[in-house]
Amino acid sequence: MHLPRSRTSVATPQALVPEEDRSGPKPAFDADAYNAVARAAKLRRIALLRSNFAVQPEYVAALSRDNAPKPRYRGSYGDLHFDAQKGLASCEWQWSMAAKQGRKTTFSIEVAYLILYTGLEKLEEEAVDRYLRRVGRFSTYPYFRTHVSHLSWESGINLPILPTIST
């Protein structure tokens, strides 16, 4: 099952962290329920589910110009599965970056990762969902950064190393 595509495309990966997921003195969620999940959660797996890479000759040609296309970034969360009896939770995180020239996409990388946690018996689904949404972003993004770096090297398009993201 594919996740719904995020409609938000941003100039930097840092801008993908929504305001309601940023840390601070007055969080927008039940901190006690969230912390119960955080204490119990045991990360069992982060796995690449799918990957798609495409680069067009127009993108490569444009790299030598002063106005080279700047990539835009997307991140989306979905497909939560939670079994409170067994204490299992999983979700999918999709990351992408793409550049366009006019209306044509000349460069794109799209990936999806599965995250699996155990130890979540009898916890609230809403808190588990919040935890996987927040922590999954920061757990999978380094894998995306590494994947992008590898594809950049292998294709010779010399993308800059992606920045880190934080709250």
Summarize pLDDT for 7-44 with one digit per residue, the tens.
567 777 666 666 665 555 666 667 888 899 999 999 99
Q: Distance from CA of residue 137 to its chain's centroid?
A: 5
Give the structural domain span for 83.
30-155
Query: 12 in a domain, yes or no?
Result: no
Query: What confidence tier does 5 reach under pLDDT thresholds 50, 70, 90?
Result: very low
Query: 111 in a domain, yes or no?
Result: yes
Query: 104 in a domain, yes or no?
Result: yes
Summarize pLDDT for 54-79 with one digit per residue, the tens.
999 999 888 887 778 889 999 999 99
Query: 138 in a domain, yes or no?
Result: yes
The DSSP call for residue 15 is G
Query: 160 in a domain, yes or no?
Result: no
pTM: 0.81
Work out how many domains the chain is built from and give that number: 1
Query: 21 in a domain, yes or no?
Result: no
The span from the CA of 76 to the CA of 65, in Å, is: 32
Query: 76 in a domain, yes or no?
Result: yes
What average pLDDT does the structure give for the chain?
87
Query: 4 in a domain, yes or no?
Result: no
The span from the CA of 109 to the CA of 99, in Å, is: 10
Q: Flag the least confident range among 8-12, 87-91, 101-105, 160-164.
A: 8-12
- Please classify residue 64 by burial: count the beta carbons closer than 10 Å to its beta carbon, then call 0-12 exposed, 13-18 middle and 19+ buried: exposed
The span from the CA of 95 to the CA of 1, in Å, is: 16
Q: What is the residue-wise DSSP string for 85-134? A: TTTEEEEEEEEEEEEEETTEEEEEEEEEEEEEEE--TT--HHHHHHHHHH
Residue 52 has pLDDT above 90, yes or no: yes
Query: What confidence tier does 127 reach under pLDDT thresholds 50, 70, 90?
Result: very high
The span from the CA of 52 to the CA of 65, in Å, is: 26
Look at phi and psi of residue 10 and say left if phi exceeds 0, alpha if psi is from -120 to 50, else beta.
Answer: beta
User: What CATH number is attached to the domain comprising 109?
Assistant: 3.10.420.10
